[in-house]
Amino acid sequence: MTQPILYSLQNCPYAMRARLAILMSEQTVLIRAIVMQNKPAELLALSPKGTVPVLVLGTEAHAQVIDESLDIMLWALNISDPNNLLYAEDAKALPEMLTIINENDQQFKPTLERYKRAKRFHEDNEEECRLQCEPFIQALEQRLSQHLFLMGSTPSLLDFALLPFVRQFSRVNRQHFRDGSYTYLKNWLKHHLQSQLFSKAMLKYPLWLETYEENRLGKPASLELRGPSTCP
């Protein structure tokens, strides 16, 4: 069995959540760092929709491709979940987490994109766009006022699936986030962003297409991303 290969983009929130889950599950994959402007042909052959992250399992002749970030998280955690991110003892936890992740991906993310655009291009609707993000953000704040993490007293799949998107929200208008009424969310975000886990997940790798050329000079084609044994 060959090592799984993860096509990854440094600052993509979907790739980040996949890397976080892989680390938390203590799996090992080979990272192939790419940029959107130059997607490797073999990636497009494996997953023609052309998004990252993409995980490739098996051999070249019999490759299994997982090209949705949430599916990659679940793949990793179903193999090994030493910190119980799936809250396995609670049958209602996973469906609840999947519902909120779906809401994040389908509703919050497009709203967040509008907010980012408004800020970036100095449009006059920044405030309006931010207000459209607020119900989702406030629902997270409400959860965190009950317990340290989104599902309870320990981290869950939900925390790591949403973390990169909350991070993006906090960075659109940093001043506003600092001054905003997100006391619990700010602490939660700070906790995660300062963790060793997050630093590991954000390690910068040389671009695979460039490394591929170097590889012919004897360097490894990909770099390993190894998981820590403890929770952040």
Ligand X SMILES: N[C@@H](CCC(=O)N[C@@H](CS)C(=O)NCC(=O)O)C(=O)O
**Contact positions vs ligand X (CB under 6 A):** 9, 12, 14, 36, 50-53, 68-70
Ordered alpha helix ranges (H), 67-156: 69-79, 93-103, 109-120, 126-146
Q: How far is the CB of 166 from ligand X (least distance, A)?
A: 15
**For ligand X, the closer CB: 6 or 144:** 6
Asked if 41 and 208 touch (Cβ cutoff 8 Å), the reply is no
What distance in Å separates the CA atoms of residue 13 and residue 108, rounded to the nearest whole number? Answer: 13
**For ligand X, the closer CB: 71 or 127:** 71
End-to-end CA distance of the chain: 30
**For ligand X, the closer CB: 46 or 144:** 46
What distance in Å separates the CA atoms of residue 100 and residue 84, rounded to the nearest whole number? Answer: 18
Q: How far is the CB of 69 from ligand X (least distance, A)?
A: 3
Which residues are CB-neighbours of 169 under 8 A, at least 6 positions away?
Answer: 112, 115, 133, 137, 177
**For ligand X, the closer CB: 165 or 182:** 165
Asked if 173 and 130 touch (Cβ cutoff 8 Å), the reply is yes
**For ligand X, the closer CB: 7 or 182:** 7
Q: How far is the CB of 53 from ligand X (least distance, A)?
A: 6
CA atoms within a 13 Å half-sphere pointing along the CA-CB vector of 200: 22
